[in-house]
Chain A
Amino acid sequence: MPQLGRAALVVSLALVAYALIAGAAAAVTRRRRLAVSARNALIAAFGSTVVASTVLVVALIRHDFAFTYVASHTSRALPTRYAVSAFWGGQEGSLLLWLLVLTGLGAVAVWLNRRSRDLVVWVVPVIAGVATFFAWMLVVVASPFATQRAPFDGAGLNPSLQNPYMVAHPPLLYLGYVGLTIPFAFAMGALLSGQTDERWIVATRRWTLIAWTALGIGQLLGAHWAYQEVGWGGYYAWDPVENAALMPWLAATAYLHSVMIQEKRGMLKIWNVILVSLAFCLSLFGTFLTRSGIVSSIHSFTQSSIGGWFLGFIVVVVVLTIGLIFYRLPLLKTKTRLESLVSREATFLYNNLLLVALCLTILWGVTWPIITEAVSGEARVVGRPYYDFFLRSFGLPLLLLMGIGPLIAWRKASLRGLGKTFAWPAGIAVLTGVVLIVLGAGSSTPGLIAYTFSAFVLGTIGLEFVRGTRARHSLSSEDWPRAFSSLIARNRRRYGGYIVHAAIVLLAIGIAGSSAYQHVTDKKLARGESLNVGPYTLTYRALERSSNANATEVRAVLDIRRGTQLVGTVRSGKNSYTEPAGTVSNEVGIHTNYLTGEDIFVIAETVYGNGTVSFRVLVKPLVNLIWLAGLIFLLGSLITLWPDAREQRRLATRYAELGSGASPAR
């Protein structure tokens, strides 16, 4: 039914275009019924986009190769779950996913905030404006419903995408990218309507957190996919497309911190609007990088001609946003000033500057090859040392600030008071540093600093929980477990935030351990021969071959010994796929020690006809803490996201005083 898909997309385009024009007209002329009509159009656009998406999913499941998209990205041998994931495996499908998520989130956001009419009236045309661009692309430039005479079989899905992580990683990234449209739309809505009070922040708090969490988890799943599937021995390569997801996440992280300063002190209104806009523009830029094929990347699975359209749209958004912020500057100026450079808000500000500096240096690294290619015709790529240098320069102070910030009071703190507060965590950090030097970790200075700072931050977080629980216990006479749980329940944002901080510390420990202290050995082995790497000896025992409908698999079997003790067996090799014909993937072997978090990572670089194999073996200490950090990050985010009844009541009281026409959804 490609006709139904095409028709549904045309209806979506008409609806969002109407929501844009009628919504803007209603906002200018203050016409109530027209505003409701525009809002309905946006909600109905979600319905028609669901219809279009359903048509595509059904075609993918049924292997209906009359759809050019289905024939280009699937084959008969492709398992159903990967056939469904081909929805976002290609360019047209990803654009449809963007539109689906955008209209869905937009519909929910405007419906939940329908009572805050003066604010939402401008939010509808902003969301509709973004949706119109994507609907236009789908109808005019890159339709997923183009048809052809059906071939007997399709071209198949890129083997790298045939992985369970690829079923979840792209949708989560898109949820993050698209989710950042909602806070952006509310910020622009507030500026356009001139209602620059805190309502847009209250209305978008959870949306920003959801988008940020999805982007964070999406990136970690992508990193795990790269680690297991791409087979080069790492999890993050500073690849342009990886950076494309990291940049909006960093900007959103900065915003989540700076918005607290606005809520607590009424400061940084301009800065917050800039950060929300930056995060959204970077999410558009991320989609542009992934989908335009403008940069070479292991993730750029499509090469296309949509780049010009995207670039034009990004330029329009940036120009309009900057113009609007300048126009509304008088409304955004605040009287409150920073009282002391030693205060919670000051540390948040330093954290913001470092996050934005890191974000912009990554942006410069990503755009530099594009700029040099445009100017000189030759792309000059910025390498890993550039990114590693700035990660250390900005990341290590950020890590330290994560420990300092929670211990300092709002407004100002005396140095004597700070001395007492920091005594324990600083003691823990120094002790950790000394112990690590004794254990030989001084071989990497950045690694040693990262571990010492991590100990400091974990010390401050632990201290916060201990002191808080003790205070609750003495205040309420609750038993210790109840005091601990009610401490978190009564201030979910604060303690959920600490749990997220703990996750970031684990991430830092995992990254430092697996990069600064890893061992690598390259060797060509015949059966029966061994190689040494770190404290381990690996012996190549056998070569196994097997076939299934989709691929031929070759696996080298290696025994791992530590001294004379056998610690495990690992299989590493390659898959040769039947569709797309001639494609080969690296299938790495990983042996995990769950107690130490260490991995022995085996890559079969080349398998020769006579059975000898060129191996690259890496020992990666603490690498599994990175994946554990993902789970803790998710837990902290969920605690932060969980509705707080007392906060809801306080906000309800605040907005009840204004009447029913102004209350945002919390």
Chain B
Amino acid sequence: MIVALVLAAALTVGAVVAVALPFLKEPTAESDRFAEPDAASRRQLELAEMRDRALATLKELEFDHRTGKVSDEDYRALLGPLRRDAAQALRAIDQAASAAAAGSATAET
């Protein structure tokens, strides 16, 4: 009974320490807000997803054509729009990066 009580008390103390740990490690934090992506970062992520999607589909199309699963006719019909999608995404990422760089340069001056 006593052993159980001692172990239960130790467990409770351990739990309290685990919960309080962030406040014990940083009693007075400079900034207590966690970082989250701003609108520009979210847009960048969206574009990166679009780019990856287009590139992956393009790669898969190439492989499927090589294996003979996709006919020459289908390959030609699909290749153009896929390349356009990938190019569009890459261009948009470049534009977003340039805009971000210009924004930070303006802020510095």
Contacts and interface: CB of A to CB of B under 8 A. Distances in A.
A3 B5 contact: yes
Interface in B1-58: 1, 3-5, 7-8, 11-12, 14-15, 18-23, 26, 29, 31-37, 41-42, 44-46, 48-50, 52-53, 56-57
Contacts of A411: 57, 78, 81-82
B15 A266 contact: no
Nearest to B31: A32
A471 B66 contact: yes
Q: Give chain A's interface residue range (CB within 8 Å of chain B).
A: 35 or more
B31 to A, nearest CB: 8
Nearest to A31: B32
Contacts of B61: 409-410
Contacts of B36: 30, 117-118, 661-662
A37 B7 contact: no
Nearest to B41: A658
Interface string A113-133: 000011001000000000000
Contacts of A420: 71
B1 A467 contact: no
Nearest to B82: A411
A197 B66 CA distance: 32
Interface stretch (A42-50, A81-89, A626-634): A42-50
A520 interface: no
B66 A1 contact: no
Given A407-B69, A420-B71, A32 B29 contact: yes
B1 A121 contact: no
Contacts of B21: 36-37, 40
Interface residues of B, number: 53
Given A33-B32, A414-B74, A657 B53 contact: no
A416 B69 contact: no
A413 B53 contact: no
Contact of A32 (B3, B33, B53, B67): B33
Contacts of A659: 35, 37, 41
A411 B53 CA distance: 13
Contact of B15 (A14, A30, A416): A14
A462 to B, nearest CB: 13
Contacts of B77: 412, 414
A263 interface: yes
Q: Which of B7, B14, B34, B71 has the most CB of A within 10 A?
A: B34
Given A467-B67, A471-B67, A658-B41, A48 B11 contact: yes
Interface in A33-85: 33-37, 40-41, 43-44, 47-48, 51
A376 to B, nearest CB: 50
Contacts of A266: 49-50, 53
A662 B23 CA distance: 23
Interface string B70-96: 110110011001100000000000000
B71 A414 contact: yes
Contacts of B82: 411
A41 B11 CA distance: 13
Given A40-B22, A410-B61, A417-B74, A47 B4 contact: no
B19 A37 contact: yes
A652 to B, nearest CB: 12
A18 B12 CA distance: 14
Nearest to B96: A657
B38 to A, nearest CB: 10
A7 B71 contact: no
B11 A661 contact: no
Contacts of B8: 3-4, 7-8, 11
Interface of B: 1, 3-5, 7-8, 11-12, 14-15, 18-23, 26, 29, 31-37, 41-42, 44-46, 48-50, 52-53, 56-57, 60-61, 63-64, 66-71, 73-74, 77-78, 81-82
- 9 shortest A-B CB distances, which residue pairs? A417-B71, A7-B8, A467-B67, A118-B36, A661-B35, A32-B34, A44-B18, A36-B22, A4-B4
Interface of A: 1, 3-4, 7-8, 11, 14-15, 18, 30-37, 40-41, 43-44, 47-48, 51, 117-118, 121, 195, 197-199, 263-266, 407, 409-414, 416-417, 420-421, 464, 467-468, 470-471, 474-475, 650, 654-655, 657-659, 661-662
Given A4-B8, A44-B14, A51-B7, 14 more contacts: A3-B1, A30-B33, A33-B26, A40-B22, A41-B15, A44-B19, A47-B11, A121-B34, A411-B57, A411-B78, A414-B74, A467-B67, A661-B37, A662-B45
